């Protein structure tokens, strides 16, 4: 099945609030667990870049897991960032360790150029040009920084995408069901991601399928 791109930004207030209040406990907790398992020797210090942070849930979870870090979350959708600031307004980890920035790559840049780690969850499939993500990681992280990316993986057909939608988000609000289906169609395959990494000079990073719908990229910058 050929890739069908979707809009890069999720900038409708209702859509953003639906994501901010959705129950992502299982996948987002697993994101942190997989990062820990992938980089057990990382000291958990310094400046972390969260690319495509959305409302900031993973950024907050990362700050809780690693109290010595500061996380810069960047996203091009102001509605998503505003929803996150509302949801986490009284969260001490958010206020102490997380900063959300409206940055649309590649036209704009993150606050720093030498991050100590880079993470990203579900940004890649939104990008019309996937190299935007990999080039940003190459440009804005220091050598030796851990890189950890999880994203959706494109199934072989629309029928498979519909089955995954029914299985995984069948009970969610309609907007989340619709977006999940469209995101599956917009996602990349493992081999496509591997090609992108080589093009960006990040071919040493590993890439693998970790579920029926997710691909993981990890390694040291």
Q: What is the pLDDT of residues 44-53, one digit of tens each?
A: 999 999 999 9
Going from the C-alpha of 162 to that of each of 5, 29, 55, 186, the distances in angstroms are: 17, 25, 26, 13
Confidence of residue 8 (pLDDT cuts 50, 70, 90): low
User: Confidence class of residue 22 from pLDDT cuts 50, 70 and 90?
Assistant: low
Instruction: Tell me what pLDDT residue 185 has.
Output: 97
CA distance 113 to 66: 21
Q: What is the mean pLDDT of residues 35-52?
A: 97
> Of 126, 122, 116, which Cα lies nearest the Cα of 49?
116
Least confident of 79-93, 111-125, 138-152: 79-93
Using a pLDDT cut of 90, give the percent of the chain over it: 73
- Give 169-193 pLDDT, tens digit per residue: 888 888 888 889 999 999 999 999 9
Q: What is the pTM assigned to this prediction?
A: 0.91
pLDDT beyond 70 at 10: no
More confident residue, 20 or 100: 100
List all residues 6 or more positions away from 42 whose beta carbon is below 8 Å from its beta carbon: 117, 146
């Amino acid at each position: 099945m050929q890739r069908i791109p979707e809009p890069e930004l999720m900038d409708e207030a209702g859509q953003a609030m639906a994501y901010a209040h959705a129950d992502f406990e299982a996948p987002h907790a697993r994101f942190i667990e997989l990062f820990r398992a992938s980089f057990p020797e990382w000291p958990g210090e310094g400046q972390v870049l969260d690319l495509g942070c959305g409302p900031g849930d993973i950024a907050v979870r990362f700050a809780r897991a690693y109290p010595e870090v500061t996380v810069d979350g960047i996203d091009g959708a102001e509605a998503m960032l505003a929803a996150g600031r509302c949801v986490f307004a009284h969260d001490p980890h958010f206020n102490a360790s997380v900063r959300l920035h409206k940055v649309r790559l590649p036209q704009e840049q993150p606050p720093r150029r030498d991050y100590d780690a880079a993470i990203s969850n579900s940004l890649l499939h939104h990008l019309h040009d996937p190299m935007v993500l990999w080039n940003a990681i190459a440009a804005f992280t220091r050598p030796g920084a851990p890189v950890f990316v999880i994203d959706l993986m494109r199934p072989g057909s629309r029928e498979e995408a519909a089955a995954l939608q029914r299985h995984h988000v069948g009970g969610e609000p309609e907007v989340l069901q619709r977006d999940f289906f469209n995101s599956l169609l917009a996602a990349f395959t493992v081999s496509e991601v591997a090609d992108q990494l080589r093009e960006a000079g990040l071919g040493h990073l590993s890439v693998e399928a970790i579920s029926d719908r997710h691909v993981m990229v990890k390694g040291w910058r």
